[in-house]
Structure 1
Amino acid sequence: MKWLPATSELSPSAIISVAQRSKPNTRSRQIACTVLRQFARFAQIEVDVGPYIGNYSPKKVVKTIPTDKIISQAIEQLPNPAWRYLYALMATYGLRDHEVFFTELEWRDSESGERILVAKVTDGKTGTREVYPFYPEWVERWQLWNKKLPKLTARINQDYGERVSRTFKRAGIPFVPYDLRHAYAIRISVVFKLPVAVAAAYMGHSPTIHWQTYNRWISKEQHQQVYDDVLRDEDRPKPP
């Protein structure tokens, strides 16, 4: 909405011009056209943004999720300690980019006697939730108990996301911030083999979303690893 003319009369051409600012056939273009269509209806401007929506569909998105090795190395490209901490928090807990600013950390004792640093999201996109660290070793490596986030101000959650994305891009991180969350989702499902219901709860979405979205992005290597692990299990089912 901020791209609409503030000092001149609102017109169909102005609305179409704003609709075309985002990349074609993307979720951003789809959202922009949906919002502009509703606004034009409210403002009683006759304009058809339908031709500009594109053919975006989550099922058509092909993503290459960074491996955990790449994630553990790419953090070094962020020179600022506060931004490295934000990166580490997203990677370890699978947080959305804005959720890191609304997260409290709490130490808890496990049955094995080890201490676990649990992340409590107080204002997430899907409400409050608790998240456990995977890998827990990353908590120690990056000293996540020593909270030191960048000092940012924002009116809405999207402002946090845009700032985080710009910082990652300037630092040359070879993936977008949300890929840290995607990698966490696959990690807890494939590597740590958590039940789907538990994994979805950690992520803050439904099991259906977990199946539909993240399972499509499991790599060929990860599928092979799961198969190899099953075959190495001495208690696996044997042929008749």
Structure 2
Amino acid sequence: MSIHPSAIVHPKAELDPSVEVGPFSIIGEHVKIAKGTKVAAHVVIDGWTEIGEECAFYPFVSVGQPPQDLKYKGEPTRLKIGKQNTFREYVTLNRGTQGGRGETVIGDRNFFMAYVHVAHDCIVGNQVILANAATLAGHITIGDHAILGGLSGIHQFVKIGAYAMIGGCSAVAQDVPPYVSVAGNRAKLYGLNLIGLKRHGFSKERIEALKGAYKLLFRSGLTLREAAKQAREKWKEIADVESLVSFVEQSERGISR
């Protein structure tokens, strides 16, 4: 284990022998860190926080602090971080709340650029990119492979689907379906995230099916029930279409249109 002499690591913290902790960093009593993780200088990791393998914490990151919730009274809520995540300078991640999920959860292989904030009870999937100063309020769910542009702000309880793209400086107050692009204040739909889908290897057949389903759901003037029915009938063999339709049907906040 490589711990700089100026770092403060609580004797009850559980660190794998391969963990590196840089100068002036602080690791709290209830923290668990798996093998291969590197903590740079001036990082604070506190609270009931569990960190997976091979994560990287850059200077001035602060994770596991109490939620910014006036109802919080010191309950032992949690922050769980998966493996191979990168947290650049000044990223902040808060623990959950007793009135929410009780934990904030970060998946695997995500990239958090400088000044990103993730509030209490959020769930971030896998291989998500949050650009500089993207901000998540409480109780937000982000699907796999989503990208959030710099300076974007997401309202509490919003759900963002897999492979979605949020444009920079957007204010997102309603749910964002999977596979689409949104931008603006308030954010509006701008079609499919075609560049992202192609980069992730979506076939022409899958993309064409999603294009058709998108037009039925958001541009045809049909009721949601009728549009969903037609989409399922026409592309019943395409799982992506079912994912898109189901997300829209289950939305509680409404869809960013």
TM-score by length of 2: 0.23
Greater strand share, structure number: 2
Higher relative contact order (CA 8 A, sep 6+): 1
Greater helix share, structure number: 1
- Which of structures 1 and 2 has the bigger CA Rg? 1
TM-score by length of 1: 0.24
